[in-house]
Structures are given as structure tokens and as C-alpha cells.
């Protein structure tokens, strides 16, 4: 299948490569000549403008947008909406706010252009492991794009089937059609909100462990604990094992005190949107809300837990702290991911 890809950064470039490796024909565009050059060097085709991209594709076209959420994505979709023809498809694979998807789908439908929103979880590991995809949009357009989604998805791999499970077989392969426009990004938004809570729980647990030798405790109650060993043993057979724990173990093995991190923890927007949705639905979300607020607090007064959060974010998404100084980087020997986001 033929696909245009706009945005050839870490995720867009790897999506391009994964699809090309599977035999699909991709044509890419990025305003950054270096990003285009990295693919051209590997013999993968790019063009120097959106119009060239549209002209190079055979109707009905499909174009995947992989840009940061916000005005840059909005501008790209508006421009493409003026270039494309009826029955073409625009796919937004970034972390867009789902209400923007609903509006865009309505506007593009007036031009008979299909709009598909695709929540994409896989981060910097997606080329090898695949991407968990949560898709919204018209059923016919999603069905047409199935050859793309099925290749990008990770497949069943080594994960056992859920006993007595019934439902859409695509979910077992790592992708679903969640519903109409906006549904895919809404599911991905909540996914990232849950991720905030999970990360915060691990981070706080390791913070408690790290402070067990505090001078504030009675001397016979102080333990000097090896956090790297604890993280490693928890990875094996524990009920709380996960890829986030794998990342924590890798970070602690390389930097036991996490001195390479300041603990200044960013948020990428989805946590805020998840809390907003909880408010609109009158759903109590104490853990997710607290996890979001903890990130705000980290920018004023950091703890070891905040460093753990930074280490996990670097591991799954390559997110680098906004700070001056050195930065811990996971080596190629770091455990492979099970799932990513944020």
C-alpha cells in the first residue's frame, strides 16, 4: 500500500522504516532537511514540500501526520485539506486532543475527505517492537488502511491469549478501531493518564525505599537498601512487574542515585486532558489527578521519586529533562519495551 508521511522525527521516521521494511511504499516530508536526509541516505524516498507529497501519491491518497500536537499539526492538516481530493484520507498519529479531532473530521467531511485519528503508543522502540494503535474514524476508511495498521501493530508476540476472550481479533494484534472520529485519541489520552499514575506509584515506592536509611529514623530501623537489586528482583515473577519497572531497573543499574537527573518532570498534555475528561464526566480520578499534580510540584521541589519519573520518561520516549548539566542515557542493553506512551 502507498502512504505519505508528514513528520520524520523519531517516531515518524521509524513508522516510515517499519512500513517500508514490510513492503509498503512510503513517501515522506519534513520541513527539516536533515530528517529527510536521514531517510534518503537509507534509500527511502522523501520530498521537499507538502504539495510535492500530494502530487507523488496516487488517489485515493492516504497521508499520516506525525507531528507534535498543537498549531503545527493544525496547520499541516488545514494545508492538506486544501490540496487533497474526495475520498483521500488524513491520519493524525500524534497526541491530539480528541475534541480537535471531532472538529477536523466535520470540516474535512464537507470536502469529502476522510479523517482518522490514531493514538500511537510505541515511542522510540516502535521500529522493532511495533506500535499499539487506538484508532478513531469512519469504518470504511479504517478498513481501507488495515494493511498499514496491521504492519505497524506488534502482533501477539509472546503474550498469552486472554482466557475466554471474545471480541475484535485486531485487539490481540495490538490495534483497535475504537469508534468514530476522536475515539482513538480519547482512548490514548486515558492510556497516558493511567501511565502517569503507574509511574508515580513506582516512583514513590522507590523514594520510600531510598529513604529507609534516614537519620530521622531510630538507628535499628535504618536499612541501606540496594535499589537496583530490588528493581531487578521485582521484575522477575512479581505481580507488579512491567516494562516501566524494566526501565527503572535499567536506570538504577547505570546510575544508582540517579544523579544524572534533576527530577524536573514535564507533562505532555494528555494527563491534563484526562483529568479534564474526568471532571466533565463527574468521575473520581484521585490517583491520576495526584500524579499530574506531582509533576507540577517537581518543577519547584524535586525528590528521588521525581528522578525516577524522569528516568522512565527518558527510557520509553527519549524525553530529556529541561535542565543544565549531564543526562543519563539508557544503553542499547536496556530491556526492550512492552508498551509505551506519554
Q: Which residues pair with 26 in a beta bridge?
A: 3
Please tell me the least confidently modeled range out of 42-46, 75-79, 170-174, 232-236. 42-46
Per-residue pLDDT, averaged over 109-138, amounts to 94
**How far is the C-alpha of 89 from the C-alpha of 77, rounded, in Å?**
11
Q: Is the confidence at residue 326, as pLDDT, over 80?
A: no
Q: What pLDDT score was predicted for residue 323?
A: 59
Instruction: Return the exposure string of 43-77: e unless at least 16 CB atoms fall within 10 Å of the residue's CB, then b.
Output: ebebbeebeebbebbeebbbbbbbbebeeebeebb
Please report the sign of the dihedral spanned by the C-alpha atoms of residue 315, residue 35, residue 19, residue 173.
positive
pTM for the whole structure: 0.88
Q: What pLDDT score was predicted for residue 125?
A: 85
Q: In what order do the strands lie in the sheet with 62-65?
A: 46-47, 25-29, 2-6, 62-65, 89-92, 114-121, 132-136, 175-179
**How far is the C-alpha of 304 from the C-alpha of 267, rounded, in Å?**
18
Q: What pLDDT score was predicted for residue 110?
A: 98
Is 212 annotated as catalytic? no
Q: What percent of the chain has pLDDT over 70?
A: 94
CB atoms within 10 A of CB 323: 13
Report residue 342's pLDDT band, with 50, 70 and 90 as the boundaries.
Answer: low
Per-residue pLDDT, averaged over 109-127, amounts to 93
Q: Which of 74, 111, 158, 195 is catalytic?
A: 195
| Mean pLDDT estimate for the chain | 92
**How far is the C-alpha of 75 from the C-alpha of 324, rounded, in Å?**
32
Q: What pLDDT score was predicted for residue 160?
A: 86
Is 322 annotated as catalytic? no
In this structure, are residues 123 and 45 in contact, taking their beta carbons and an 8 Å threshold?
no
**How far is the C-alpha of 223 from the C-alpha of 296, rounded, in Å?**
31
In this structure, are residues 121 and 339 in contact, taking their beta carbons and an 8 Å threshold?
yes
Report residue 318's pLDDT band, with 50, 70 and 90 as the boundaries.
Answer: confident
Per-residue pLDDT, averaged over 22-28, amounts to 96
Q: Is the confidence at residue 325, as pLDDT, over 70?
A: no
Please tell me the least confidently modeled range out of 194-208, 269-283, 301-315, 322-336. 322-336
Q: Is the confidence at residue 287, as pLDDT, over 60?
A: yes
Q: Which of 188, 204, 270, 307 is catalytic?
A: 188
Q: For residues 321 and 23, which has the higher predicted lDDT (pLDDT)?
A: 23
Amino acid at each position: 500500500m502507498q502512504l505519505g508521511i508528514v513528520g520524520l522525527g523519531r517516531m515518524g521516521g521509524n513508522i516510515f522504516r517499519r512500513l517500508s521494511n514490510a513492503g509498503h511504499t512510503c513517501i515522506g516530508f519534513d520541513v527539516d532537511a536533515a530528517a529527510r536526509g536521514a531517510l534518503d541516505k537509507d534509500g527511502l524516498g522523501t520530498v521537499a514540500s507538502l504539495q510535492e507529497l500530494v502530487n507523488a501519491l496516487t488517489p485515493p491518497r492516504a497521508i499520516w501526520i506525525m507531528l507534535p500536537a498543537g498549531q503545527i499539526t493544525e496547520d499541516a492538516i488545514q494545508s492538506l485539506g486544501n490540496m487533497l481530493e474526495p475520498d483521500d484520507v488524513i491520519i493524525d498519529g500524534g497526541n491530539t486532543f480528541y475534541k480537535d479531532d471531532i472538529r477536523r473530521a466535520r470540516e474535512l467531511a464537507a470536502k469529502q475527505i476522510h479523517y482518522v485519528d490514531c493514538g500511537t503508543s510505541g515511542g522510540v522502540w516502535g521500529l522493532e517492537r511495533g506500535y499499539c494503535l487506538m484508532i478513531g474514524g469512519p469504518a470504511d476508511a479504517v478498513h481501507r488502511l488495515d494493511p498499514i495498521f496491521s504492519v505497524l501493530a506488534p502482533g501477539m508476540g509472546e503474550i498469552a491469549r486472554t482466557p475466554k476472550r471474545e471480541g475484535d481479533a485486531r485487539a490481540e494484534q495490538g490495534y483497535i478501531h475504537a469508534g468514530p472520529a476522536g475515539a482513538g485519541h480519547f482512548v490514548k489520552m486515558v492510556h497516558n493518564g493511567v501511565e502517569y499514575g503507574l509511574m508515580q506509584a513506582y516512583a514513590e515506592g522507590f523514594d520510600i525505599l531510598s529513604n529507609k536509611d534516614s537519620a530521622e529514623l531510630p538507628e535499628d530501623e535504618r536499612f541501606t537498601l540496594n535499589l537496583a537489586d530490588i528493581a531487578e528482583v521485582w521484575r522477575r515473577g512479581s505481580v507488579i512487574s512491567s516494562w516501566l519497572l524494566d526501565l527503572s531497573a535499567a536506570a538504577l543499574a547505570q546510575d544508582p542515585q540517579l544523579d544524572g537527573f534533576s527530577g524536573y518532570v514535564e507533562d505532555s498534555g494528555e494527563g491534563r486532558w484526562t483529568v479534564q475528561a474526568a471532571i466533565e464526566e463527574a468521575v473520581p480520578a484521585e490517583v491520576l489527578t495526584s500524579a499530574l499534580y506531582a509533576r507540577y510540584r517537581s518543577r519547584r521541589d524535586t525528590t528521588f521519586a521525581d528522578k525516577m519519573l524522569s528516568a522512565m520518561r527518558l527510557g520509553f520516549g527519549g524525553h530529556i529533562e529541561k535542565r543544565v548539566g549531564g543526562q543519563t542515557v539508557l544503553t542499547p542493553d536496556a530491556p526492550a519495551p512492552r508498551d509505551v506512551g506519554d
